[in-house]
């Protein structure tokens, strides 16, 4: 796989890879010495801070059965259960980036983005999930995309799996099976696809195994990531000098009431983000103690012979701990939290939600995007970055997604406001608090297929008319706003 990303060709040899360099640097002391901004003292993003935009293969590529591509779990879901997608849509065509990738790169260049985070459709590259099924048509496509990026001075940042697991591997058990750890991959948002895909069964691959499946999924995601990291370290790092990460997701939390203890906030953060961050960045390479204790106790009440939360061996803990060169994180929203104090009822099916015992709510003063889950809480980004700083010894963080949904209008003032407020929170976390953040990635460069919401919600900086045969990319007002942020390294008035 690494030879797909870096080849001995002139564009690669001369490209400086600034993000790779930024991810390897330690932070300087905050210039404002831990104090808030003084009047007339304009904060600026550091000189080595980088900006990018992101997409995911299934959401933009289309060409779902072209040039040897096999079906993914999302092809199966949208074709066999169209009723689950709000508008009955599929990603069969999407933004047709398989054919129009040059238009995507042109859009990135117009804004001035430094890097592009895209995902490789594993069902296109390895339809059966192993090297024997390597699809040369996919190799040509991704090489062409990477060369186009490099020719425009844009650094490729590759996610090896963004939800679209090959259906062939899912038939073997998917992420609930240990077979998956043999494959070289990194992951996007394992909390989301494990809980909803293998626990509640509400999204692809539609596996309902509540209270068990989500923990098996998470366990094998971590083991597969660690195995990929170790493979890269042993075979490729000395020649390529690359960096490996895994993108985590999760909300920041605030006490729901004046009497909600901070322990409840900490519990919520550990059950969601810490579930994956503790094994990777914590002291001993294990799950959070609160998860081990709670799930173990609940499993005992259910008269199980062992905990529903799998255990790492000593060797696995050593393999997982430290198997990320940077902390990749997607931030969109936050919640209020309180503790569910009801007695555990063994008559009900087990679930992550019941193990966590966190009651989430929203502040009525928070505004909301088109997405029902996306409440605008920019201060939560500063809060969670400081939690990373305190708990994990100020790791190098890359914000790999942040964005706002609407109806797709070109005059997207609400999206501009969302980005301005979140970038202010981020800049304060860097300049005032001393958080070590290397870059910020906007979701998304173009409107795309938004999973179970189909095309009813739009996140793009560029508008795409999906009824137009040409699928032209048209810049929204937010694209110009981000262009000004990048060119001035400040947050302009809006």
Examine residue 1 and state whether it is found in any structural domain, yes or no.
no
Least confident stretch, 157-161, 361-365, 460-464: 157-161
pLDDT digits 0-9 by tens, 146-170: 999 999 999 999 888 777 776 756 5
Catalytic residue among 6, 61, 148, 189: 189
Cα–Cα distance for residue pair 203/191, rounded to 1 Å:
13
Q: 38 falls in which pLDDT band (50, 70, 90)?
A: very low
Q: Identify the residue with better confidence: 24 or 265.
A: 265
Examine residue 21 and state whether it is found in any structural domain, yes or no.
no
Examine residue 285 and state whether it is found in any structural domain, yes or no.
yes
Q: Quick check: 248 pLDDT over 90?
A: yes
Domain harbouring 245, CATH code:
3.20.20.80
Examine residue 5 and state whether it is found in any structural domain, yes or no.
no
Examine residue 12 and state whether it is found in any structural domain, yes or no.
no
| Strands laid side by side in the 397-401 sheet | 155-159, 115-119, 50-54, 437-443, 397-401, 327-330, 247-249
Catalytic residue among 294, 401, 450, 457: 401
For 371-378, what is the mean pLDDT? 98
The reported pLDDT for the residue numbered 66 is 94
What is the total count of domains within the chain?
A: 1
The reported pLDDT for the residue numbered 141 is 94
pLDDT digits 0-9 by tens, 97-132: 999 999 999 999 999 999 999 998 989 988 887 778
Whole-model pTM above 0.85? Answer: yes
Q: Quick check: 327 pLDDT over 70?
A: yes
Residue 42: Cβ-neighbour burial (10 angstroms; 0-12, 13-18, 19+): exposed
The reported pLDDT for the residue numbered 356 is 98
**302 annotated active-site:** no
The reported pLDDT for the residue numbered 5 is 45
- The parent domain of residue 364 ranges over 43-488
For 338-364, what is the mean pLDDT? 97
The reported pLDDT for the residue numbered 176 is 52
Examine residue 16 and state whether it is found in any structural domain, yes or no.
no
pLDDT digits 0-9 by tens, 7-37: 444 545 578 899 998 988 776 666 655 555 5
Token reading at 26: 């330690």
pLDDT > 70: percent of the chain: 90
Contact 398, 438 (CB under 8 A): yes
Examine residue 494 and state whether it is found in any structural domain, yes or no.
no
pLDDT digits 0-9 by tens, 474-493: 999 999 999 999 999 999 99
Residue 26: Cβ-neighbour burial (10 angstroms; 0-12, 13-18, 19+): exposed
**343 annotated active-site:** no
Q: Quick check: 3 pLDDT over 90?
A: no
The reported pLDDT for the residue numbered 144 is 94
Q: 191 falls in which pLDDT band (50, 70, 90)?
A: confident
Examine residue 68 and state whether it is found in any structural domain, yes or no.
yes
> Closest Cα partner for 215 from 197, 200, 194?
194
């Amino acid at each position: 796989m690494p030879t797909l990303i870096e080849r001995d060709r002139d564009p690669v040899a001369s490209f400086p890879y600034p993000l790779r360099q930024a991810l390897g640097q330690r932070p300087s002391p905050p210039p404002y010495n831990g104090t808030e901004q003084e009047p007339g003292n304009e904060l600026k993003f550091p000189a080595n801070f980088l900006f990018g935009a992101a997409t995911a293969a299934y959401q933009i590529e289309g060409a779902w059965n072209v040039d040897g591509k096999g079906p993914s779990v999302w092809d199966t879901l949208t074709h066999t259960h169209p009723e689950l997608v709000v508008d009955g849509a599929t990603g069969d065509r999407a933004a047709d980036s398989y054919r129009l990738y040059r238009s995507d790169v042109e859009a990135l260049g117009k804004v001035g983005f430094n890097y592009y985070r895209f995902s490789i459709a594993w069902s296109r590259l390895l339809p059966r999930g192993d090297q024997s099924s390597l699809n040369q048509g996919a190799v040509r496509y991704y090489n062409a995309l990477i060369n186009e990026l490099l020719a425009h001075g844009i650094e490729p940042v590759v996610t090896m799996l963004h939800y679209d697991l090959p259906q062939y591997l899912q038939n073997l058990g998917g992420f609930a099976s240990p077979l998956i750890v043999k494959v070289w991959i990194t992951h996007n948002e394992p909390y989301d696809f494990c809980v909803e895909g293998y626990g509640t069964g509400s999204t692809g691959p539609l596996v309902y195994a509540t209270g068990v499946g989500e923990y098996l999924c998470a366990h094998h995601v971590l083991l597969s990531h660690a195995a990929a990291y170790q493979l890269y370290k042993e075979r490729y790092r000395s020649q390529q000098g690359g960096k490996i990460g895994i993108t985590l997701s999760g909300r920041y939390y605030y006490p729901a009431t004046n009497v909600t203890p901070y322990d409840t906030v900490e519990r919520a953060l550990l059950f969601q983000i810490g579930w994956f961050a503790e094994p990777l960045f914590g002291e001993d390479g294990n799950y959070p103690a609160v998860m081990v204790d709670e799930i173990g106790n609940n499993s005992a009440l259910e008269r199980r012979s062992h905990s529903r939360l799998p255990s790492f061996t000593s060797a696995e803990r050593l393999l997982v701990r430290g198997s990320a060169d940077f902390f990749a994180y997607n931030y969109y929203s936050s919640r209020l939290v309180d503790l569910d104090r009801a007695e555990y009822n063994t008559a009900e099916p087990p679930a992550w939600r019941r193990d966590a015992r966190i009651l989430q709510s929203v502040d009525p003063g928070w505004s909301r995007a088109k997405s029902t889950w996306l409440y605008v809480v920019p201060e939560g980004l500063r809060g969670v970055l400081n939690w990373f700083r305190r708990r994990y010894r100020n790791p190098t963080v890359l914000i790999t997604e942040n964005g706002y949904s609407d109806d797709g209008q070109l005059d997207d003032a609400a999206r501009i406001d969302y980005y301005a407020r979140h970038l202010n929170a981020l800049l304060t976390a860097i300049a005032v608090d001393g958080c070590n953040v290397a870059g910020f990635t906007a979701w998304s460069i173009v409107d795309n297929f938004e999973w179970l919401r189909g095309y009813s919600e739009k996140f793009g900086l560029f508008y795409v008319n999906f009824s137009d045969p040409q699928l032209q990319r048209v810049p929204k007002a937010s694209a110009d706003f981000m262009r000004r942020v990048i060119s001035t390294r400040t947050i302009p008035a809006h």
